[in-house]
Amino acid sequence: EVIVVKHLEPFRLSLEKLKEVSTRLRKDMIRGLGKHTHHRAAVKMLPTFVRATPDGTEKGDFLALDLGGTNFRVLHVRVMEEEQKMVKMDSQLCAIPQEIMLGTGEQLFDHIAACLSEFLDSQNLKGQTLPMGFTFSFPCEQKEIDKSILIRWTKGFNCSGVEGEDVVKLLKEAIHRRGDYDISSVAMVNDTVGTMMSCGYRDQTCEIGMIIGTGTNACYMEEMKNVKRVEGEDGQMCINTEWGGFGDDGSLEDILTEFDKVVDRTSINPGVHTFEKMISGMYLGEIVRLVLMKLTEKKLLFKGEVSEALRTKETFETKFISMIEDGLENAKKILTELGLTWDLVDARVVRLVCETISSRSARLCAAALATIVDRIRANRGLPHLKTTVGVDGTVYKKHPKMQLSMHFLAPDCKIKFLVSEDGSGKGAAMVTAVAQRLALQSRLLEESDGEEDEEEKVRS
């Protein structure tokens, strides 16, 4: 086991190293926000045009669309002010088969438009035009809340003809091709933003959203004066960091292991989303598999015998990691299913490998989150900050260990984690609800300004 530990050494990141990673991310975030530096920045820091978190007075009925994983969902959401909660009135799920994930953009949006049509029919909603939010969980350059250009696909999607295009336009075109219904404006939302906003309705101190699921990412409320790409100095705007791209310029070279490099090389998007590939669910299982293969080749596992399953890419699912961490009995079952001949020592070693890979993921996320939290603190010139992070994603839910590291990485901040209940579904409704509230408030303000002017005139 001592030799095994030696092989796992490159995955163990000291607190010092994590602090270094955090400092690098801080610099990259500044680069991403800069007017002249953002074009080439690895961490994109995308403006979202979401200018406020909920204040609890939002209400109404909304439609929410959600695309980000292997399913597309449509939801009818009611925001109820009296009870301070969001209720899913009804919803429909449409699977996105692999051939569509890798097909043409037209096929993808036709599929989505068909699913939406079916839902509207079933709910008798085709005549109405409810305000609509669309959680689209990929990096997008937003020009406005309803204009959102896909920068690149991630997480196993690769539909042709969508990168560089406005997603709202593609959706509307697909709906027009059908011709059986129409929609009005659509607020485009990243899943991290949806998570922050839905948690923000319950806890109004929530100003960060984080996802550690199939992919990973975070957003937070930044001061407008630092968002150099968008006009205006006042107030705040939510920034979608797209931290998954951290390291794409080579800045994480010193912590990448040989296994990370293979995962990247054999992925459908080599060279991009370096940080994500060390952390998220789409890749963790594959890292473990590659490590197990290496240890077996070195005769440190399974008496040097590799099974056909273990040799095959992506057969070691990410969910096996938490199952194996839960107990040796699970480990034994899974190893048998993978066609391996194991003994007790093997089962223990496999568990150690799983723990090592999942704690590296948790610690790297903690380092990145610490950077954001400390930035918010510094932005406000506070010695201490107390804040809430809305979180979602299966990897986080199964491995909440990152909370431990936070204390060391952001010592001046006290952080509460709030697990979101379907933030990427309901959050899009909340973004739309907040936008409506802000529009109403500014209308009322203009009216009352007008009245004051009138009074002035009468007095003089």
- Residue whose beta carbon is closest to ligand BGC: 215
For the CB of residue 281, give the shortest distance to ligand BGC in the complex, in Å: 10
Measured from the CB atom, the residue of 247 and 385 that comes closer to ligand BGC is: 247
- Binding to ligand BGC by residue 211, rule CB under 6 A? yes
- Binding to ligand BGC by residue 396, rule CB under 6 A? no
Strand bridging mode 147-150 / 85-95: unpaired
Q: How many CA atoms lie within 13 A of 16 on its CB side?
A: 0
- Maximum distance among all Cα pairs of the chain, rounded to whole angstroms: 97
Closest CA to 367 of 31, 4, 5, 17: 17
Q: Which of 215, 247, 285, 390 binds ligand BGC (CB under 6 A)?
A: 215
Strand (E) or helix (H) holding 212: strand 206-212
- Per CB under 6 A, the segment of 27-35, 136-144, 284-292, 364-372 that binds ligand BGC is 136-144
Measured from the CB atom, the residue of 207 and 276 that comes closer to ligand BGC is: 276
- Binding to ligand BGC by residue 277, rule CB under 6 A? no
Strand partners of residue 187: 133
**10 to 13, 181, 201, 258: CA distances (angstroms):** 7, 55, 41, 9
- Binding to ligand BGC by residue 58, rule CB under 6 A? no
Q: Which of 242, 248, 260, 346 binds ligand BGC (CB under 6 A)?
A: 242
Query: What gap in Å lies between CA 186 and CA 147, rounded to an integer?
Result: 9
Give me 313's structure tokens. Answer: 């890419």
- Per CB under 6 A, the segment of 10-18, 215-223, 311-319, 327-335 that binds ligand BGC is 215-223
Q: Give the other-Cβ count within 10 Å of 367's Cβ.
A: 26
Strand bridging mode 140-144 / 147-150: antiparallel
Measured from the CB atom, the residue of 244 and 425 that comes closer to ligand BGC is: 244
Q: Are 102 and 158 in contact (CB under 8 A)?
A: yes
User: Of residues 59-88, which lie at the interface with ligand BGC (CB under 6 A)?
Assistant: 68
For the CB of residue 334, give the shortest distance to ligand BGC in the complex, in Å: 26
Give me 5's structure tokens. Answer: 């530990």
Active site residues: 155, 191
- Binding to ligand BGC by residue 142, rule CB under 6 A? no
- Binding to ligand BGC by residue 420, rule CB under 6 A? no
- Binding to ligand BGC by residue 244, rule CB under 6 A? yes
Query: What gap in Å lies between CA 226 and CA 60, rounded to an integer?
Result: 33
Q: List contacts with ligand BGC (CB under 6 A).
A: 68, 137-139, 154-155, 190-192, 211, 213, 215-217, 242, 244, 276
